[in-house]
Structure 1
Amino acid sequence: MSAINRDPKIVVIGAGFAGLTAASHLTKHGYLNVTILEAMDRPGGRVHTTKPFGENVIDLGANWIHGQDGNPIFIMAKEHGLLAENDSCSTMCLPGAVTPKDYFFHQNGKLFDSDEVEHVCQVFDNLMSKAFNEELGPKYKETSLGDYLDEEFSASELISIEGAKMVFEWCKRVECTDEACSSLYEFSVSQLRLYTALEGGFFNSLGPGGYQAILDILLKSLPLGVLVCSTPVKFIKWNLNQGTSPPGEMYPVKVICDNDEELEADHAIVTVPLGYLQEKATEMFYPPLPDWKIRAINRLGFGTVSKIFLEFEKTFWPVDCSGIQLVWEQGHEDKDMYMSMLDGDSWKDTWYKKICGFDTVARHPNVLCGWITGKEAEYMEILDDNIVGETCTRLLRLFTNWDVSNPVRVVRSLWKENPYVRGSYTYIPVGVDAQKEQEALAEPLPSVSCNSTNKPLQVLFAGEATHVNYYTTTHGAYLSGEREAQRIINYYKKSPVSSVGK
């Protein structure tokens, strides 16, 4: 491990996409006195590629590329040959090739007709597209996404189709996973229009290196010794008095690590997850962050999305099966169930109802991956591996009536339990002005425009939560890190560059 540079001028806190991009952008522009402090024993943040099932990787964290056109993550992956699209496309297009499909099962073991499911899902997608792309009107200004979807469903022809309501509720459960919220009744429908979906659609077919291969591009761009892992930050002192010491002996920022190492700097770029800030911001900064900054941190939502990987000795699903989807008579996405969950802990007895289904996993023929979100995901994380594995196996047997053996291994993501993350990604609660709060979260301290005699840009903020249009995504994190690095570069274009060691 590299020793800490004891005289850094720019300290980046966090080595996820935002932090690595900020450091890479700075060093490429000649700002070489940069140190990245990462609390965990590995870089990557919410990207975590690992090999628990042999030689092939799985991604416990990010595994989607959200759109292609103008997406720096997609561009990097494509330029470096990290996509598996050619392999998957060529297989799918061969004459006589089997086209994978999702199997939708009712809890009584009945298999839903695929055309009926597709029809319901298409109606749901149309409603979501409308919410993303159109002004829904003033009546939806303070309305949840769940209430909007319920109202539209009740007014559609689906209301009279047997089984349509249950499949529609499954769609809502999947949307909870996309939005990282416990319930769509907590998520603002009016704020969806701020999110910008890049053209090209979702893309999750990365090559054998997984998301780590994309991270490695950034890591290789950094000078040796810039990254220091296993070094949590305890305090960030800023606005220190610069008039009491000779030039060069006092900096406006001091970063104090858990091991009591102290790093003086001109600038600190804070890229830690929003969930960590929500837990630590009031004690992490001195002087305390201004009220408007704390308000932004606390008003934005930060939810948990967890994966449950199950390895079996052999497959028990058909060769054309890409996923086993679970459709309940009444699941946790139902509004009556949601309202009952607000009081008491009885929902913990049926936490598994939030599992959307189990998908097949690329390059792992004997592995399925279950998805779960919200409070139920947080509860799942504190359970024993055996309990989770047994519960998932029971669900698969109940829904499919297939001969399902016990898994030989269970591997789970634990993002809520991770003390340096505390969740997965950002969502916008009902009643929150997303643009206002995200711009406040991204505002540096002090700003360049403020009327202060102290040095500006002492503490800067990056990460997916700070990007109004691309929150929740890796490219949002990437662009936010580039944004804050460029903010520093632009400042020194108007100032003597020698003060940052360029």
Structure 2
Amino acid sequence: MEQHYRVVIVGAGLAGLSCAKYLIENGINDFVIIEAHDQIGGRCRTIKLFEHPIELGSESLHGDILNNPLYQLAEEHHLIDIDDKGSDRDDCYHDEDAESIDEDVIDEVRKIYDEILEKKVPTYPYENYPDLSLGEFISAELEQYIKMKTLTLDKDEIDEQQKVINWLSKQHPYLNAIGCNKLTDVSVQGWNSLERLPSNNQYNTETAYIHGGFLNFLQRIFTDKINENKIELNTIVKRISIHEEEQYVDVEIIKNNQQLIIYQAKHVVCTQSVGCLKHSMHQMFIPPLPHAKRMCIQKLGFGTIDKIYLVFPQPFWDVDFETFNFLWDTNQLDTEWKLKCFTNTSFNSQWCKNINGFYVHHRLSNVLVTQISGEAAKYIETISDELLAMAFQELLCLFYPDNQSPLPEQIIRSRWFHQPFIHGTHTFIKIGSSIHDIKQLAVPWPNKPAKPLILFAGEGTHERFYGTTHGAYMTGIREAKRIVELY
């Protein structure tokens, strides 16, 4: 059975939905969106907990109404939800011995760290200099800082500063959105190509959430304007065959009843994640993608960030606090140790040192939230909820024994690395790759302006906003414009 469309869009995430919306607005309705999962959204995933939306993927909007088109759309539809409860609560910082670390020390080191990231890293030149990792650059700067501090501080105080540096390296607001295993994986030149949106909104806050969650946003902005029969869920793309001479593409799909169907299209817009392309590009495309495009997909980094929600009957902690931070002993980071609850299991406990603490959910006072990235995130996706809940109870009791954490009654978490057809969360430019790889990925195939058959969209194809929701949105429009201009 064969069906014909002008455009087939692969993926119903932000890029695919924005592409479809732009096509409709410009008079092209002859399209279909193919989505492998049972719902729209891609890496935006909202679920309900106690009637409140919680996010397993993208959570807040960057920037403001002037620089982020998603912010503008949310504002137009009265969907901006500002966190107004956390500003009057305190942050708590404990080390492995449950000793409190003074907030003045945190603020001092954070100021130095911010200065390195915001002022010194951007000065690293692009041309005629070897690529350097972000981790190496930051470490070299911090070594100078620590050398200076050794003149005035004793060993215990230096150790305390090192704990803060390690904590910031894993949870700094700029850095915790990469999903890499370690900062030495990230190219400093590539990092400098990522544009961060400043926030100057009227709410005087940098955290803008969405009423009803991202899923509500996607439904209101996109799917309410797209006929539901144009989005085919539970439908897997098996193969994309390009017929360049005849100027069409065959898309072999498998629906949930395992029936194989071929859709013939003038254009196919691929919005799969870089992680998905890494896994499937060799089997999916006939003939194979050009060598240059395969190489850029292989070279780009694709990180994993998982969110974890611990649900308790009521808060067992001091409600005056908003965060409970874990500052690990840097002298013991590579030392083998084991959680008591893992004693009779095959699991190791080293991933724990990637947990930097918990914060209280901004709308649910009985829920603690954390996130974990890189190889540690991939590892704990294989651990059961029951065992993981015990591990987090043990960690909370280790760092905050006065609170005596009970076992959470529920654990809710994402498993993005093992999510079929996604395999992670964020594109980043790692050592050995560059911004040119993102540009190369965004080039249609064949690269002929009048005859683009396969087009590529998604956050991993935006050279300034890769790794972001607004980047994904803008690339969907970019490729839709490319098609509209042909007609």
- Tell me whether the two structures share a fold, i.e. TM-score over 0.5: yes
User: Once the 2 structures are TM-superposed, how far is the Cα of residue 172 of structure 1 from its aligned partner?
Assistant: 0.6
Aligned to 2:63: 67
Task: Give the Cα separation in 1 of the matches to 2:465 and 2:316.
Answer: 39
Contact 2:309-2:370 at 8 Å conserved across structures = yes
Shift of 1:190: 2.0
Question: In the aligned structure 1, how far is the partner of 2:442 from the partner of 2:132?
Answer: 26
Please tell me whether residue 141 in structure 1 is matched to residue 140 in structure 2. no
Per-residue displacement from partner, 1:117-163 (whole Å, max 9, x unpaired)?
A: 11111211111112553235779732211111111111115743511
2:162–2:330: 8 Å Cα contact kept in structure 1?
no
Q: 2:227 aligns with which of 223, 231, 254?
A: 223
The residue matched to 2:33 in structure 1 has which SS? strand
**Shift in Å at residue 431 of structure 1?**
2.8
Measured against aligned partners, the alpha-carbon deviations of 1:264-289 in whole angstroms (never above 9, x if no partner) come to 00000000111000010011000110
Q: 1:82 to 1:107 in 2, by over 3 A?
A: same
The alignment-based identity, stated in percent, is 31
* 1:99 to partner: Cα distance: 1.0
Deviation digits for residues 361-386 of structure 1 (CA, Å, limit 9, x no counterpart): 12211111111100000000011001
Q: Which amino acid aligns with 2:371?
A: W
TM-score where L is the length of structure 2 = 0.89
Could you report, residue by residue, the CA deviation over 1:88-136 in whole angstroms, capped at 9, with x for unpaired residues? 44x57xxxxx712321111110111112111111211111112553235
The equivalent residue for 1:410 is 411
Structure 2: gaps spanning 5 or more residues = 336-345
Q: Does 1:171 align with 2:172?
A: no
- Cα separation, 2, equivalents of 1:460 and 1:327: 45
Pairwise mapping of residues 274-353 of structure 1 onto structure 2 (< 5 A)? 274-330=274-330, 348-353=348-353
In 2, the alpha carbon distance for the partners of 1:34 and 1:324 equals 49
| 2:25 is the counterpart of 1:28 | yes
CA shift in 2, pair 1:329/1:485, >3 Å: same
Distance in 1 (alpha carbons) for counterparts of 2:229 and 2:2: 8
> How many equivalent pairs are there?
457
Q: Which residue of 2 aligns with 1:12?
A: 9
What is the one-letter code of the residue matched to 1:357?
A: G
Q: Which residue of 2 aligns with 1:126?
A: 115
State whether structure 2 residue 189 is matched by structure 1 residue 194: no
- Structure 1 regions of 5+ residues with no counterpart? 93-97, 243-250, 338-345, 450-454, 493-502
1:154 to 143, 149, 164: 143
Give the distance between the partners of 1:221 and 1:275, measured in 2 at CA: 29
Correspondence for 2:339: none
Q: Distance in 1 between matches of 2:439 and 2:128?
A: 25
Secondary structure at 1:398 match in 2: helix
Rounded to whole Å, the distance in 2 between the matches of 1:5 and 1:219 is 26
Tell which deviates more after alignment, 417-426 or 316-325.
316-325
Asked whether the equivalents of residues 348 and 379 of structure 1 are also in contact (C-alpha less than 8 Å), the reply is no
- Note the C-alpha offset of 1:8: 1.4
Alpha-carbon shift at residue 470 of structure 1 (Å) = 0.1
Q: Give the superposition deviation at 1:241.
A: 4.2
Query: Which residue in the other structure is 2:480 paired with?
Result: 485
Structure 2 residue 97 is the aligned partner of structure 1 residue 108: yes
Q: How far off is 1:205 after superposition?
A: 3.6
Q: What does 1:434-445 correspond to in 2, within 5 Å?
A: 435-445=435-445
**TM-score normalized with structure 1 length:** 0.86
Taking structure 1 as reference, are residues 331 and 290 closer, same or farther at Cα in structure 2, changes over 3 Å only? farther
Change (3 A) 1:121 1:26: same
- 1:361-400 equivalences under 5 Å are 361-400=361-400
How far, CA to CA, are the matches of 1:263 and 1:103 in structure 2?
Answer: 56
Contact 2:177 2:426 in 1 (8 A): no
CA deviation vs aligned residue, 1:407-463 (integer Å, no higher than 9, x gap): 000111010010110001111111322x210011000011234xxxxx711000000
Match of residue 214 from structure 2: 211
Aligned-residue Cα RMSD (Å) equals 2.3
Alignment check: 8 A CA contact 2:121 2:137 kept: no
For residues 445 and 147 of structure 1, the distance between their equivalents in structure 2, rounded to whole angstroms, comes to 37
Shift of 1:350: 1.3
1:39 equivalent to 2:36? Answer yes
Q: What is the one-letter code of the residue matched to 1:218?
A: F
Name the SS of the counterpart of 1:403 in structure 2. coil
Alpha carbons of structure 1 residues 283 and 5: separation in structure 2 relative to 1, 3 Å: closer
Contact 1:132/1:195 (CA < 8 Å) preserved in 2? no
**Whole-Å Cα distance in 1 between the matches of residues 120 and 229 of structure 2?**
47
Q: Is the 8 A contact 1:140 1:190 kept in 2?
A: no
Matched residue SS, 2:93: strand
The one-letter amino acid paired with 2:483 is I
SS at structure 1 position matched to 2:260: coil
Q: Which residue of 1 aligns with 2:53?
A: 57
Contact 2:306-2:373 at 8 Å conserved across structures:
yes
Once the two structures are TM-superposed, the CA of residue 313 in structure 1 deviates from its matched residue by 1.3
Is 1:237 equivalent to 2:237 in the alignment? no
Larger CA deviation: 255-264 vs 9-18? 255-264
Q: Using the alignment, how far apart are the partners of 1:240 and 1:24 within structure 2?
A: 27
Moved more, 153-162 or 476-485: 153-162
**What per-residue deviation string (whole Å, max 9, x for no partner) do you get for residues 294-345 of structure 1?**
001000000110111100111022222221111000289x7x78xxxxxxxx
| Contact 1:233–1:257, Cα closer than 8 Å, also in 2 | yes
Rate the CA distance shift 1:139–1:154 in 2: closer, same or farther, 3 A.
Answer: farther
Classify 1:398/1:111 alpha carbon distance in 2 versus 1 (closer, same or farther; 3 Å).
same
How many angstroms apart in 2 are the aligned matches of 1:179 and 1:100? 27
